[in-house]
Amino acid sequence: MNTPAENLAINTIRTLSMDAVQAANSGHPGTPMALAPVGYLLFNERMKYDPAHPEWIARDRFVLSCGHASMLLYSLLHLSGVQQWKNGAATQEKAVPLDHIKRFRQMDSRCPGHPEFRHTSGVEVTTGPLGQGLAMSVGMALGSNWLGGTFHRDNKNLLNYNVYALCGDGDMMEGVASEAASLAGHMKLSNLCWIYDDNSITIEGNTELAFSENVAERFQAYGWNVIKVNDVNDLNALRSAFDAFLAEKNRPTLIIVKSIIGYGSPNKAGSHEAHGAPLGEEEIKLTKKALGWDENAKFYVPDSVYQMFSEGIAARGADAFSLWQSEMDAYASKYPAEAKELQQILSGELPENWDEKMTRWNADAKGTATRNSSGKVLNQLAENLPWLIGGSADLGPSNKSVLTFPGAGDFSLQNPSGRNFHFGIREFAMAAIINGMATTGLRCYCATFFVFADYLRAAARLSCIMELPVLYLFTHDSIGVGEDGPTHQPVEHLASLRAMPNMIVMRPADANEVRQAYKFFAKEKHHPISLVLTRQDLPTFPRSKDGTGEDGICHCACGLRNGAYILRDAINPETNIPDIILMASGSEVHLCLEAQNTLRAEGIFARVVSCPSLDIFETQTAEYQESVLPKTCTKRIAVEAGIEQGWRKYIGLNGTFIGMTSFGASAPFKQLYEHFGITTENIIEKAKNLLK
Q: Which residue blocks in 542-613 are alpha helix, DSSP H?
A: 589-601
- For residue 626, the tally of other CB atoms under 10 A from its CB is 12
- SS3 state of residue 296: coil
- For residue 634, the tally of other CB atoms under 10 A from its CB is 14
d(CA 412, CA 423): 12
- CA nearest 596: which of 530, 687, 521, 529? 687
d(CA 403, CA 229): 44
> DSSP characters for 134-145?
HHHHHHHHHHHH
Query: Which distant-in-sequence residues (6+ apart) come within 8 Å of 367 by Cβ?
Result: 510, 511, 537, 538, 539, 540
- The β-bridge relationship of strands 443-449 and 388-392 is parallel
- CA nearest 64: which of 171, 141, 183? 171
- The β-bridge relationship of strands 253-258 and 537-540 is unpaired
Q: What are phi and psi of 647, to 5 degrees?
A: -90, -25
d(CA 528, CA 515): 17
What's the burial of 214, exposed, middle or buried (CB within 10 Å: 0-12/13-18/19+)? exposed
Query: Which distant-in-sequence residues (6+ apart) come within 8 Å of 128 by Cβ?
Result: 67, 68, 113, 114, 115
Which residue among 124, 427, 513, 588 is the active-site one?
427
DSSP letter (8 states) at residue 492: S
The answer to whether residues 584 and 637 touch, using CB atoms and an 8 Å cutoff, is: no
- The β-bridge relationship of strands 83-86 and 89-94 is antiparallel
- SS3 state of residue 306: helix
The answer to whether residues 110 and 151 touch, using CB atoms and an 8 Å cutoff, is: no
Distances (CA, A) of 18 to 275, 279, 309: 12, 7, 20
- Compute the C-alpha angle 135/467/58, nearest 5°: 60
- The β-bridge relationship of strands 364-369 and 420-422 is unpaired
Query: Which three-class secondary structure string do you get for 630-679?
Result: CCCCCCEEEECCCCCCCCHHHHCCCCEEECCCCCCCCCCHHHHHHHCCCC
Q: Computed over its alpha carbons, how large is the radius of gyration of the chain?
A: 28
Q: Give catalytic status of residue 467 as yes or no.
A: no
Distances (CA, A) of 415 to 238, 338, 385, 418: 33, 18, 19, 6
d(CA 287, CA 162): 35
The answer to whether residues 599 and 624 touch, using CB atoms and an 8 Å cutoff, is: no
- CA nearest 63: which of 165, 204, 203, 206? 165
Q: How far apart are the first and last CA of the chain?
A: 89
What's the burial of 311, exposed, middle or buried (CB within 10 Å: 0-12/13-18/19+)? exposed
Cα 58 versus chain centre, distance: 21
d(CA 342, CA 337): 9
Catalytic residues: 427
